[in-house]
Each structure stands twice: as structure tokens, then as C-alpha cells.
């Protein structure tokens, strides 16, 4: 009899524990589900303007007009462009965009005019971009403010890289200052030596053109390695994160997406915002 009583008590305990565990797990799933629903509602509300445009239900558009307009590739892109009204918009291109039909490169979504373009000129110390000459001329003929940038390779000689850029790029009145694109960390040298090399490139290019170059990099790279020691330079910063919707005050340019659709260009294109209007952009060009 005693053994049976003990077994019954154990069964009651197990059953009670199972009920509590099930209830706890079920409650947890409900809480997570409720949180996800709130998150979805919050994001939908925040991006309501972009979503309305994307799905062609914006109040000031008829369905016929909407069907004729190109859909923006990213709802966030439209949100950023809406918040950047009045600021100058541009793109950057390289050989990866293939042969561009420059006469068609004019706006994003038939609404936001494109004022400027940065064109990759050189890579490291050994070669120009394969489409640079064509793009450089095409942008000029299309009456866009153009600028040239160099993709810097940290493990190659900085002065030879500068010499290649100088040999390749002939800046004219109305062009943007030269740009140094630094994105990678060195493999065979210290960060201190990397910074020495960057300074050498910047000084050589500034001495040749008589204008201070702009530095391009990602926001994290900028914060970690460039912000303090290169504070005497203006920066073009890349950040595609959905929570970033406006340019920082200390950024000259902001590359906010790499997935935009532009007339005349096949595939995705980077889009940039200048921290000012068209007149202010023209003010920083080469004289």
C-alpha cells in the first residue's frame, strides 16, 4: 500500500510539472508573437509613405499613373529621398555597371533629378577602370557634375597608386574634387603604416590638382580608423542600414543604398545624397 501511495504522489508531481512547463512555453510563444506583431505594425506605420508609393496607392496618384511609374527597388530608398528633399542627389558607377546609356540617366523614379556622378577611375597601382574613359565623357555630355575616385589597395605602394590616378584623370573646371576610396584593412602592415600611406596618396593628389581630396569609406571604418586622424578632410560615407534615414551633419556625401534602379543603367546602382542643394554642390567644384 505504501508503494502505491508513493507512486500516485509522484504522478501528481510529474503532471503538475508538465502543466507548468507547457503553460510557460505557451505563454512565451504568445509574448514573442505579440512583440513581432507590434514590431510589424510599427515598421508599417513608419514606412507608410514608402509602402503606399510602392504599392501604387498613394492618394495623389491614379491607378493609371501608378501603373506607368517605375517601382522603386526599396521602400526605404523612397523614405530617404522624401526626407532629403532639397538636397542634391547623385550616383556612383564603375565598370560593373557595364556600358551606360548616359542620355537616359536623368532621374530616380521620374521624380528626383540626378545632379552628379562619381566615376571610378583607377584600381590600386596597376590599372584604370575599364569603363572610365567612356563614363567620364558620357557624364560630361549628359551635363552632370562629375567626379573621379580611386579604389585604394592597402597592400600596394601608395605613391604609385597616386601616380596612376594622376595619369588617368584630367580634372576640368566644374568637376568635383578627387576621391580616395578606402574600405579594406591591410594584411601585411600595421594600421599606423596604412595611415601613412593614405596621407601620402592624399598629399600627392592634392599637390597635383591644387584641391583637397574627399575620402570615401563605410561608417564603421570611418569611426574606427579615420575620423580622428583625418578630421581635416571631408568625408563621403556609406551606410545602408534601415534605421539610418538622414545624412549626418559632418558628412559631405552619404551613399545610402546600393540597390537603386536608374534609367540607362542595367542592374543595381549606388545612390548618394550631398549635404546641401545644387548651388552649394557647384560651390565645391574645381575652379
Place of cell 584623370: 169
Which residue in 92, 129, 181, 219 is the catalytic one? 92
Helix (DSSP H) and strand (DSSP E) numbers for the chain: 9, 10
> Is 224 one of the annotated active-site residues of the chain?
no
Is residue 268 packed enough to be buried (19+ CB in 10 Å), middle (13-18) or exposed (0-12)?
middle
| Alpha-helical segments (H) within 100-176 | 132-141, 158-168
Q: Which three cell numbers stand for residue 232?
A: 581635416
HSE value, Cβ hemisphere, 13 Å, CA-based, for 130: 6
Q: CA angle, 104 as apex, 98 and 108 as ends, to 5°?
A: 95
CB 78 within 8 A of CB 49: yes
CA dist., res. 74 & res. 62, Å (int): 21
Q: Which three cell numbers stand for residue 2?
A: 505504501
- Strands (DSSP E) found in the chain: 89-93, 107-108, 112-123, 127-128, 145-151, 179-181, 214-218, 234-238, 253-260, 269-274
CB 71 within 8 A of CB 249: no
> Is 219 one of the annotated active-site residues of the chain?
no
CA dist., res. 92 & res. 94, Å (int): 7
Q: Given the DSSP bridges, would you call strands 269-274 and 89-93 parallel, antiparallel or unpaired?
A: antiparallel
**C-alpha 280: how far from chain center:** 22
Which residue in 183, 223, 224, 248 is the catalytic one? 183
H/E segment holding residue 214: strand 214-218
Give the active site residues. Answer: 92, 183
Amino acid at each position: 500500500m505504501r508503494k502505491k501511495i508513493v507512486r500516485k504522489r509522484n504522478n501528481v508531481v510529474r503532471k503538475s510539472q508538465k502543466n507548468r512547463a507547457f503553460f510557460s512555453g505557451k505563454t512565451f510563444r504568445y509574448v514573442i508573437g505579440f512583440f513581432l506583431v507590434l514590431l510589424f505594425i510599427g515598421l508599417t506605420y513608419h514606412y507608410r509613405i514608402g509602402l503606399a508609393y510602392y504599392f501604387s496607392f498613394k492618394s495623389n496618384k491614379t491607378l493609371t499613373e501608378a501603373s506607368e511609374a517605375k517601382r522603386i527597388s526599396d521602400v526605404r530608398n523612397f523614405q530617404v529621398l522624401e526626407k532629403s528633399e532639397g538636397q542634391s542627389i547623385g550616383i556612383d558607377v564603375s565598370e560593373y555597371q557595364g556600358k551606360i546609356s548616359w542620355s537616359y540617366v536623368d532621374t530616380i523614379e521620374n521624380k528626383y533629378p540626378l545632379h552628379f556622378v562619381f566615376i571610378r577611375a583607377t584600381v590600386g597601382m596597376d590599372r584604370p577602370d575599364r569603363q572610365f574613359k567612356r563614363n567620364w565623357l558620357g557624364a560630361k555630355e549628359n551635363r552632370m557634375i562629375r567626379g573621379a575616385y580611386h579604389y585604394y589597395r592597402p597592400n600596394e605602394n601608395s605613391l604609385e597608386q597616386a601616380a596612376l590616378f594622376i595619369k588617368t584623370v584630367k580634372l576640368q573646371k566644374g568637376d568635383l574634387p578627387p576621391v580616395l576610396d578606402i574600405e579594406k584593412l591591410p594584411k601585411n602592415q600595421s594600421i599606423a603604416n596604412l595611415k601613412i600611406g593614405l596621407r601620402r596618396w592624399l598629399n600627392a593628389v592634392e599637390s597635383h590638382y591644387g584641391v583637397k581630396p574627399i575620402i570615401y569609406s563605410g561608417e564603421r571604418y570611418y569611426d574606427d580608423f579615420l575620423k580622428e586622424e583625418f578630421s581635416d578632410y571631408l568625408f563621403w560615407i556609406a551606410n545602408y542600414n534601415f534605421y539610418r534615414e538622414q545624412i549626418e551633419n559632418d558628412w559631405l556625401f552619404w551613399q545610402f543604398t546600393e540597390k537603386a534602379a536608374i534609367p540607362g543603367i542595367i542592374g543595381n546602382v549606388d545612390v548618394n545624397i550631398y549635404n546641401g542643394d545644387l548651388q552649394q554642390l557647384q560651390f565645391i567644384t574645381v575652379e
